[in-house]
Amino acid sequence: MTHRTAVDDAEGSGRLAPPRVTVIGEALIDVLHRPGEEPVETPGGSPLNVAISLARLGVPTHLLTALGADDRATAIERHAIASAVHILPNARTLAATSCAVAWVDHDGAATYDFDIQWDLPPTELPRTEAVHTGSLALFISPGRDQVMDHLTRASQQHALVSIDPNIRPSILNDRNSVRARFWEALALADVVKLSDEDAAWLYPDRSPRWVLAELLQAGPALAAMTLGRRGAMLSSHVATVQVPAASVVVVDTVGAGDSFMGALIHGLLELRTDAGFGAYHELGPEELSRLGSFAALVAGRTVARNGANPPWIEELLP
C-alpha cells in the first residue's frame, strides 16, 4: 500500500509543509527482547512514537530531538522519513544515540532499562498549532529546562500544548521531584495524558477519577488516562467519560500509549478546525467519547502487531 500525507504533497511541490504539530523529546533505539527470540533493535522513544502516530494520521509533524553521530541515529532518521516526520536540523549533538532495553513478557507487556542523554541543540521552533512533549524529556536535565522554555513560548503563542509524563521509575526514582516537575509542566498544558501505571506511581492509592480531577486543577482543559484492557477515561471541566479498549488480540503493548496520544492530538486539531480555537476548553461527553474512542481504536491497531507500529490513516477508513 502506498501512503501519502500532507508532507508528501508539499514535498512534491518543492516545499515542506508547515507543521501542525511540533513534538519535542527523545528519540532512541529500543532493543527488544522477546521470550525465545534474538534481540531486535528498532527506533523508539515516546516522543518519536507520538510524532510517527500523528504523521501517519496525516498531520504534518516536526520533531525536535537529540541524536548521536552514529548508525543508530541513521536508523531513527530513516524511520522518521518513512512516516513523513521531519526531524529539525542539528539533531546530532550527543556523544551517542540513546537506547532502551525493552523486555516483553508472554502477555505482551514491556519493561525498560535506559541508557540516555538529554541535551537539546539551540533551536527556534517553527510556528505551529500544537506542541507536544513528554516522557524523559520532561524530567532529565539539562534538556528539561530547554523543553520548558519551548512550552512557555508555545503557550504564549496560543499553541495547543500537550504532555504525557510516561514515567520511567528505573530512572526517575525521586517521586517528590518528579511530581514537582510534572506539576510545573501542567501549568503550561492544555492537554495531559497518562497511563494508570503513571497515576499509580505519582498518586498511590488514588482512583483514576480523583487523579484526573487533580490534574485539571493544575490548568489543563483535558485530562486522559489509559487503563489497559479497561479502555481509557477522559475528563474535562464539564464531563468525564470512560471508553472501552478496542477488541483485538494483543501482540505487545509497545507504543500503545503513544499511539493513543497522537490520535488524541489529531482529534483535538480536528475539533479546532471545526469549531475554532476554544473548542477543547469545554468538552462535553459526546466530544470526549468521540476523541477517546478514536484514540482507543488507533492504540488497538498498534497493540495488535509487533512494536511501536501505529496505523496509517488509510487503515482506519471504513
Q: Report pLDDT digits (tens) over 63-77.
A: 999 999 999 999 999
Q: Report pLDDT digits (tens) over 115-162.
A: 899 999 888 898 999 999 999 999 999 999 999 999 999 999 999 999
Q: Distance between CA 225 and CA 311 in Å, rounded?
A: 21
For the chain, the average pLDDT equals 90
Q: Distance between CA 229 and CA 286 in Å, rounded?
A: 22
With b for 16 or more beta-carbon neighbours within 10 A and e for fewer, the 223-236 pattern comes to bbbbbbeebbbbbb
Q: What is the DSSP letter of 228?
A: G
88 Cα distance to chain centroid: 17
Q: What is the pLDDT of residue 122?
A: 86
Q: What is the pLDDT of residue 9?
A: 45
Label the pairing between strands 240-243 and 61-64: unpaired
Crossing angle of helices 256-275/46-56, nearest 10°? Answer: 50
Q: What is the pLDDT of residue 94?
A: 94
**Grid coordinates 523486555 are at which residue?**
103
Cell representation of residue 270: 480536528
pTM assigned to the model: 0.91
Q: What is the pLDDT of residue 10?
A: 42
Label the pairing between strands 240-243 and 232-235: antiparallel
Cell representation of residue 116: 540516555
Q: Distance between CA 250 and CA 243 in Å, rounded?
A: 18
Label the pairing between strands 130-134 and 160-164: parallel
Q: For the chain, which residues make up each domain, given as ranges?
A: 6-310
CATH superfamily of 6-310: Ribokinase (3.40.1190.20)
Q: What is the pLDDT of residue 16?
A: 65
Q: How many residues does the chain have?
A: 318
